[in-house]
Each structure stands twice: as structure tokens, then as C-alpha cells.
């Protein structure tokens, strides 16, 4: 049983295969955190120390005893109002606006299976996962506030999830000013915090910095998880590497504004937290109302960052992504965006499909520009009516023509947006998020539709269903091309709720869409990877990783992304050179090797390829299809950090070690070169592997300990691939 409760000691223990999590209800009814780390037995309440600590408050219950302070004790769900001056997970105000809360233990429940969250995406359990749920009930007697702390356990995968439900069971209103989903206190240790920062077209650059005194926070105020900071953080010992050492992660199953914070306190203790962004958020809970806090996926690895990533990859692949395409490689696609931008007709799309098919592709995606008056990015969003004049045919006819070539067919949508120049905006200007009396902040000349309102969602849903119902569509690219700036809903009484309710609306729409069209593959996108998070992955099993298709930049973007997300979630395409984002020229094969580390496809016009390039594309697609199962299901290893190494290198190893695919791109070249040895990982010790391409044999231990010298090619950015099969 993963979850145990010792009645006498009042200690909760959660075991996964390789980790243990422990907390204790003490005599005062406070819930103290004891331990999260390598699997162990026994009670860890001996870790708690009690002494008089100046200027740290004491609970009234203990009268003259000054040795107890929540300002120093490790807590499970710290809050403002009990004498802890560190960063709270919960901060609420009563009807008068008074800050303060005092939650005490009120009971628990252990149940089989994994909890779900109403209205929000969450990790789910499959049969055989041995999942369990622990619910801990906490109550504030004065406010009548009830908090249910939820813990979900996937023991084999070393995953523990956290979420919480706040319920106002009192008689007055309560306003939630901050509500984080997870908080972890570490009594000892000196840590690094690993975060992933970026910008449009350059997402998820890894940063590793010392957690020092003070608080370091990342997050998003944009109403989206954002290009700027990914909702995924790792705390690690200073000496933790890919293969060794302890590390802990928090990953938010939520796509809106968030905050993650690491604080080192006066006693050198560390607190790690993640949850809803508390700025631009003030959530009123009236009598009887509930607020569901989104889920945080946590994992611990005592075997370095690679081990941690494997837990997260497995969890995302098998317990977050859903639907028909969860376990199978996705169709190799050609996307019209960089090939034609807005400049296409039905005929040119069919022509593109015909040429792509000839090269071995499986799907043609018609990107932005097929609806309303959308011939540039200044107008048309909100009018999901097929522009038959531009296409020269109906959507059904176009889809049929593409299918008749033996290709699947996909389209682009951006349901959450509206242009002022659209029929929708002219009819319903109050359906956009905007502040009365002010001019809205524009971005890409578009406004965000108020998805917190059901009538707005329903209207867009009906329009999009009308397109999908009438035509054979196999794939949708769901885009989101700006951040929210004007947080005001004409449909809301409390504007402090809008950003959260907006996300619930988006999830409601996505749930309805995916339920109604279970055969359709939905790819998420937000100007590339601006909403690359576990929340979106619950509905869209792949996400366009970045608008930057330059193979060299992509190495870093995909490297950073891989810490929390498996390759099968990363949309990656080959595009033309010089690259349209940064002008860099890379060899054609290098671009395909890099795109093969994600869901493979092309972002170019096949008609413009030379005969030699066409031959290369045929080979690239056939290579990808040969390795697709391995790439989709295998264990992914980062072999180098492309921001500093001479070569970017990575590897996927089959779960049973029977084969591996290693790829490397040389990043720096010199005269009279020092050979670059790439150290492989995860091969079966003692085994010999044969490279199926060259026929050459290699001892696994030497490949891992000494490495594999890359050939010395001429010219920049040469790529090399080894398919190693165990003998």
C-alpha cells in the first residue's frame, strides 16, 4: 500500500518504488512535513527540533512555551496567520479584509486510484498503476474554511501529485489572495534551483542557480504559462548531475498564470512552492463555494536528472496525454505556414499534399488563413467560416481531395482570439477581454476572447464544430498568439477571478472538443512553445515546441524542454535555409536529425526542393518511420548540454535496452581538431551493440565510459546518427 497512516504517531507515509514522503499531524493539529527523499522506513519525526527562536511567534495553545514556532518548523501547507513569516502557500482574507487563517487537522481518507479534479486537467491512473489517493482534511474553525489536501501516488513511476480544494463552509465571504498547490520544506541542504526561461522563438533555456537567502521566484502574469518561464522547476544538490545525485521536481498541470518560488530562510532551511500566480488574482469564495487548486506533479530521483526526467516523461506520456495518439507515433506532416504563410488556395494546398505524399509524408496541414477574411494577421480571427472564395472549394471538398491522395488532412485554429476587424467583434465587442473606458493593449493586432463566459465559448465551439462536422479533418493545430493584458470580463462580478475562470473555460472547450472528436489529433501551440505545459498536454498530446525551426537553436530549446517533457510531445519540423528566424544555414540532414527528436514533419514547400533534396526527404522520412516506435516509447537521455558542449548529443534507449538511437550535431569546428567523444548512457552493461548503419560493433561499457568519437566531417553543423542494436 503506497499510503500508510500510523494512528498512534499520527504519521502519514507515502511510498513510491524509490521515494518516501512523510508528514505528521502534531498534538496541536498542525500538519508538519517530515521528509521527501530516497525510500526509507520508520518515522522521521525525530528531525523536528524545538527551541526558543527570537521573533518567531508561538501558537497561543502552548501558553508559556516559547519553543514551538511555525516560523521554523517544516510544514505541509504553510499559511499566513499562524506565525510563519516565510512564503505562505495560502493567504486568505475575511469579509472585513482581515488577513489570517488557522488550519488544523480534521481527518483523512485513503482511497484506491487517483483523484480527478473538477474542471481541471490532472494526472490519471491506468489499470495496473497501483495508484492511491490520500485526502487530508484541514479546517479553520473561525472562517469555516475547509481545505482538502490531495495527494495522488503513482508508485512505480515515483510520482506524487498534489492539489487542494478550498471550500467556504462558513457563513461569511472569504477572499483567497494566494493559493499555491504544493509547498515542500527542506530542513537541511544546500541547493540549486533549475528553471527554464526564454522568450518567443527561444524558449526553455536552462538556468541553474544557487538557492540563497531570500526568495527567488519565476512565473507568469500573462494568463498563459508563457515562453518566458516554464511551469516546471527542479531543486537539486549542488553536485547533482545527469547520472548522480538527488533532485526534486515540481511541474504544474496548468496553462495559465503561475508562480514557483524557492526560499532559504533564517535557519538555512529551504522552501519550494508552486501554484497559481498570486498577483492579478483575488478569488472571492462565497458561502458554499469551492476553489480547486490545479495539480502539481512532484517527483524525486536519487539517481540524477536523467532519472528524474524519466519519471516525468513516463508520467506525461502515460498518465497525462490521452486519446488515440497517446501511444503511437504521430503522422509525419507537412505544414503550410513557412511554405506559403497566408498565400494559398485550395489548389496550392492539394498540390502541396500531392508533392508531400510523393516524398513519403502522411499528413498535410493547412495553417492560418483559411477562414473569414484572414489574408494577413490583421483581421478575421473570430470568424470560423471557411473562406470558400479563397480556397476555391468547400472544406469538405478540400479534405476529400487531400484524402484521395492517401494523405491525412489537418487545419489550424486559434479559438481564443478575435480581431477588431471581424464580424464577431463587430457583433459582440464586449466578448473580448477589455477594460471599460480604456483602450485595450494590442498584440499581433488581436484581442483575447472572454472564455470565462459560456456563451462566448459556445459560439466559437459551434462555429468550429460546423467546420469539423462537415469535413474529414484528422488534425487540429490549436494556437494562442498573445498574452492577456486587460483583465476584465463583462460577464464577471469579481474581476479577481477572471484569469483563473478563463483557464477553466479553455479546458472546458478542449474537453468538449476532444470528447466529441476522439479521432482528431490536436497539437497545441502558442507562437511556438508559449503554452508548453502539462495542462495543455492533457488535451493536446503534442505541442509545437517553438516558432524557431533553426536546427542549432532547436538543440537548446529541445534540450531544456526535455527535462520535463518527453520527445513525443515536442512538435519539431525541418524548414528551409537560410532559416527564416535567424538566417543560419545548416545542412539539410542536420535539420532532419534535430526534428527527429520530436514529432517529425516539414515546414516548407515540397515543390521548391531540388531533386537531390527530395531524395534526402524520402530517406529522412523513411529513417524516421524506422525509428519512430523507439523514439516514441524509449528512454530519452541528454548526453551533452548544447549551450556549452562542442556537440549537441542525445540518445533514446529502448526500455529493455535492446536498441538505442544516438544523434549528435557538431557545434564548433576548428583546424586540426580534437576528437569529440560522446559518452552514451543507459545501454545494457556487459553487452555489445552493433551500429545497424555501419555494421560496426561496440562494447556498451566502453561507449558509456570512454565514449564514441564523432567522425571529423568538413563544414559546420554536421550531424551523425548511430542506431545501436544489442547483440
List of residues contacting ligand GLA (CB under 6 A): 337, 367-368, 377, 412, 479, 481, 525, 527-528, 544, 547
Of 263 and 367, CB closest to ligand GLA: 367
Cell numbers that stand for 399 in this block: 479534405
3-state secondary structure labels for all residues of 228-288? CECCEEEEEECCCCCCCECEEEEEECCCCCEEEEEEECCCCCEEEEEEECCCCCCEEECCC
* Residues forming the active site: 533, 613
Query: CB 547 → ligand GLA: shortest distance, Å?
Result: 5
Query: CB 367 → ligand GLA: shortest distance, Å?
Result: 5
Cell numbers that stand for 426 in this block: 463587430
- Measure the CA–CA gap between 462 and 169, rounded to whole angstroms: 37
* Range 22-51 burial, b when 16+ CB lie within 10 A, else e: bbbbeeebbbbbbbbbeeeeeebbeeeeee
The DSSP line for 34-90 is EEEEE---S--GGG------TT----GGGTT--S--TTTS-BSS-BTTSS--S--SE
Query: CB 587 → ligand GLA: shortest distance, Å?
Result: 23
Q: Left (φ > 0), alpha (ψ -120 to 50) or beta: where does 280 sit?
A: left
Of 416 and 547, CB closest to ligand GLA: 547
Of 377 and 580, CB closest to ligand GLA: 377
Query: CB 200 → ligand GLA: shortest distance, Å?
Result: 8
Of 192 and 479, CB closest to ligand GLA: 479
Of 275 and 380, CB closest to ligand GLA: 380
Query: CB 527 → ligand GLA: shortest distance, Å?
Result: 4
Write down the H helix ranges in 446-497: 454-470
The residue with its CB nearest to ligand GLA is 368
Of 162 and 482, CB closest to ligand GLA: 482
Q: How many residues does the chain have?
A: 727
Determine contact, residues 262/193, Cβ cutoff 8 Å.
yes
Query: CB 530 → ligand GLA: shortest distance, Å?
Result: 8
462 Cβ contact list (under 8 Å, min separation 6):
none
3-state secondary structure of 521: strand
Strand order in the sheet with 11-15: 3-6, 11-15, 19-25, 31-38
Q: Which of 329, 426, 425, 347 is nearest to 621 (CA)?
A: 329
Query: CB 222 → ligand GLA: shortest distance, Å?
Result: 16
Of 13 and 335, CB closest to ligand GLA: 335
Amino acid at each position: 500500500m503506497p499510503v500508510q497512516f500510523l494512528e498512534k504517531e499520527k504519521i502519514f507515509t507515502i511510498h513510491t518504488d524509490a521515494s518516501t514522503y512523510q508528514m505528521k499531524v502534531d498534538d496541536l493539529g498542525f500538519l508538519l512535513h517530515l521528509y521527501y527523499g530516497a525510500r526509507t522506513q520508520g518515522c522521521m519525526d525525530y528531525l523536528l527540533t524545538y527551541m526558543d527562536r527570537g521573533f518567531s511567534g508561538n501558537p497561543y495553545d502552548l501558553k508559556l512555551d516559547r519553543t514551538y514556532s511555525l516560523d521554523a518548523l517544516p510544514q505541509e501547507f504553510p499559511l499566513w496567520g499562524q506565525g510563519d513569516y516565510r512564503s505562505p502557500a495560502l493567504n486568505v482574507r475575511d469579509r472585513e479584509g482581515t488577513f489570517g487563517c488557522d488550519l488544523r487537522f480534521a481527518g483523512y481518507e485513503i482511497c484506491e486510484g487517483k483523484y480527478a479534479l473538477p474542471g481541471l486537467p490532472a494526472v490519471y491512473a491506468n489499470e495496473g498503476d497501483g495508484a492511491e489517493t490520500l485526502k487530508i482534511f484541514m479546517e479553520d474553525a473561525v472562517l469555516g474554511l475547509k481545505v482538502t489536501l490531495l495527494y495522488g501516488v503513482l508508485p512505480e513511476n515515483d510520482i506524487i501529485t498534489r492539489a487542494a480544494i478550498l471550500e467556504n463552509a462558513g457563513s461569511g465571504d472569504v477572499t483567497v489572495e494566494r493559493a499555491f498547490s504544493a509547498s515542500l520544506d527542506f530542513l537541511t541542504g544546500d541547493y540549486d534551483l533549475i528553471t527554464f526561461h526564454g522568450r518567443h522563438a527561444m524558449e526553455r533555456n536552462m538556468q541553474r542557480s544557487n538557492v540563497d537567502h531570500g526568495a527567488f521566484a519565476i512565473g507568469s502574469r500573462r494568463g498563459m504559462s508563457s515562453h518566458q518561464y516554464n511551469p516546471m522547476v527542479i531543486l537539486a544538490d549542488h553536485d547533482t548531475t545527469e547520472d548522480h545525485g538527488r533532485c526534486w521536481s515540481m511541474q504544474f498541470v496548468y496553462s495559465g498564470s503561475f508562480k514557483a518560488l524557492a526560499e532559504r530562510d533564517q535557519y538555512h532551511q529551504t522552501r519550494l512552492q508552486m501554484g497559481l500566480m498570486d498577483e492579478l488574482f483575488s478569488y472571492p469564495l462565497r458561502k458554499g463555494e469551492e476553489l480547486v487548486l490545479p495539480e502539481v506533479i512532484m517527483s524525486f530521483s536519487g539517481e540524477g536528472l536523467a532519472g528524474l526526467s524519466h519519471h516525468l516523461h513516463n508520467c506525461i506520456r502515460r498518465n497525462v496525454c490521452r486519446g488515440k495518439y497517446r501511444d503511437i507515433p504521430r503522422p509525419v506532416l507537412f505544414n503550410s505556414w513557412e511554405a506559403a504563410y497566408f498565400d494559398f488556395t485550395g489548389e496550392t494546398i492539394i498540390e502541396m499534399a500531392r508533392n508531400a505524399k510523393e516524398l513519403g509524408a502522411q499528413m498535410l496541414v493547412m495553417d492560418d488563413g483559411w477562414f473569414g477574411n484572414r489574408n494577413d494577421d490583421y483581421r478575421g480571427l473570430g470568424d470560423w467560416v471557411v473562406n470558400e472564395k479563397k480556397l476555391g472549394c468547400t472544406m469538405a471538398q478540400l479534405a476529400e481531395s487531400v484524402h484521395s491522395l492517401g494523405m491525412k488532412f489537418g487545419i489550424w485554429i486559434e479559438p481564443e482570439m478575435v480581431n477588431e476587424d471581424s464580424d464577431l467583434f463587430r457583433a459582440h465587442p464586449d466578448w473580448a477581454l477589455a477594460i471599460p473606458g480604456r483602450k485595450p493593449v494590442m498584440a499581433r493586432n488581436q484581442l483575447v476572447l472572454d472564455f470565462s463566459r459560456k456563451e462566448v465559448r459556445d459560439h466559437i465551439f459551434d462555429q468550429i464544430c460546423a467546420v469539423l462536422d462537415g469535413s474529414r479533418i484528422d488534425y487540429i493545430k490549436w494556437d494562442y498568439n498573445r498574452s492577456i493584458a486587460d483583465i476584465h470580463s463583462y460577464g464577471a462580478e469579481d474581476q479577481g477571478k477572471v484569469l483563473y475562470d478563463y483557464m477553466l473555460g479553455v479546458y472546458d472547450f478542449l474537453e468538449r472538443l476532444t470528447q466529441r472528436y476522439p479521432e482528431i489529433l490536436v497539437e497545441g501551440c502558442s507562437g511556438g512553445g508559449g503554452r508548453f505545459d502539462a495542462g495543455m498536454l492533457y488535451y493536446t498530446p503534442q505541442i509545437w515546441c517553438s516558432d524557431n525551426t533553426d536546427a542549432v537553436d532547436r538543440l537548446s530549446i529541445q534540450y531544456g524542454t526535455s527535462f520535463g517533457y518527453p520527445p513525443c510531445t515536442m512538435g519539431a519540423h525541418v524548414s528551409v535555409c537560410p532559416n527564416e528566424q535567424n538566417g543560419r544555414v545548416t545542412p539539410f540532414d542536420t535539420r532532419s536529425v534535430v526534428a527527429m527528436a520530436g514529432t517529425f514533419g516539414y515546414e516548407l514547400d515540397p515543390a521548391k526542393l531540388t531533386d537531390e533534396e527530395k531524395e534526402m526527404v524520402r530517406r529522412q522520412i523513411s529513417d524516421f518511420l524506422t525509428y519512430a516506435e523507439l523514439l516514441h516509447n524509449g528512454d530519452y537521455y541528454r548526453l551533452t548540454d548544447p549551450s556549452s558542449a562542442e556537440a549537441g548529443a542525445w540518445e533514446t534507449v529502448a526500455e529493455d535496452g535492446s536498441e538505442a538511437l544516438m544523434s549528435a550535431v557538431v557545434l564548433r569546428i576548428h583546424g586540426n581538431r580534437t576528437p569529440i567523444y560522446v559518452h552514451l548512457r543507459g545501454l545494457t552493461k556487459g553487452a555489445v551493440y552493433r551500429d545497424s548503419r555501419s555494421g560496426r560493433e561496440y562494447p556498451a561499457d566502453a561507449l558509456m565510459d570512454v565514449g564514441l568519437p564523432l567522425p571529423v566531417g568538413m563544414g559546420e553543423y554536421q550531424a551523425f546518427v548511430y542506431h545501436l542494436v544489442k547483440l
